[in-house]
Chains A and B, each alone.
Chain A
Amino acid sequence: MHQTIKKCYISVNVQKLDFDINSEIKKIKSNKIIGGIVNFTGIVRNSGGEKEELVSLELEHYPGMTEKAIMLICEDAQKRWNLNFIRVIHRVGRLFSGDNIVLVLTASAHRKEAFKSAEFIMDFLKSRAPIWKKEHYRTHSSWVQSKEEDELILNDW
């Protein structure tokens, strides 16, 4: 899903496949008006606070809604900051320790707008993208609980 609003190109994908950060950055850099790109990559941690070692992380989502919900977050970011590119890739399905989960790239003429908007997008992805994580351990599985602070932090924006 992609669109251009006021010279800001927004592209969102929800996919099972891995992504290549360098090739995503390369695509954005080909545009000469960019002054800086902020890259946030979320990766699967070995343990979500449990003593046992994580076997896998399963990401369930709401097909049809997820991309739209992420696009709404990006549109909101585009309204708040002067950006040239927003690229979000969110992976779903079964992932393993060290795997990429999410990529957020924001590009602007100036660094502060790129930093702020990347943080904004990540904060909203946490509790506004219809995605649910389940941790699988050798002996049991459990759904990741949402954190109250993740919801509260949205009020700061």
Chain B
Amino acid sequence: MKILYFSWLREKIGVPFEEVEVRSETVGDLIKELINQDHKYELAFEDIKSIRVAVDQKIIQDFNVSIKNAREVAFFPPMTGG
């Protein structure tokens, strides 16, 4: 699965994206799985309220959303377009 990071999340994790073998079945579990892997994820996901998620380029509100068949999951802070 491709995991993408934007803005300060990308800076904290150090890469714009990575290909990862994922065991998790939901967005929430994926975050936990990453945090268990490396301290940098713990720091990046520290303030979970400021994390937004898109699964296959669709923004999701609920971290219980399934990622079983997802090709990509993106993590980013609140958007500041316009």
Contact = CB atoms under 8 A, between A and B. Distances in A.
Chain A interface SS verdict (over half) = mixed
Nearest to B52: A130
A132 B77 contact: yes
Interface residues on A, range: 20 to 34
B61 to A, nearest CB: 12
A81 interface: no
Contacts, number: 69
A128 B74 CA distance: 14
23 contacts: A60-B6, A62-B54, A62-B57, A68-B57, A101-B82, A125-B81, A125-B82, A126-B82, A127-B78, A127-B79, A127-B80, A128-B81, A129-B82, A131-B80, A132-B6, A132-B79, A133-B80, A133-B81, A143-B8, A143-B77, A143-B80, A144-B80, A146-B80
Interface of B: 4, 6-8, 10, 54, 57, 59, 74, 76-82
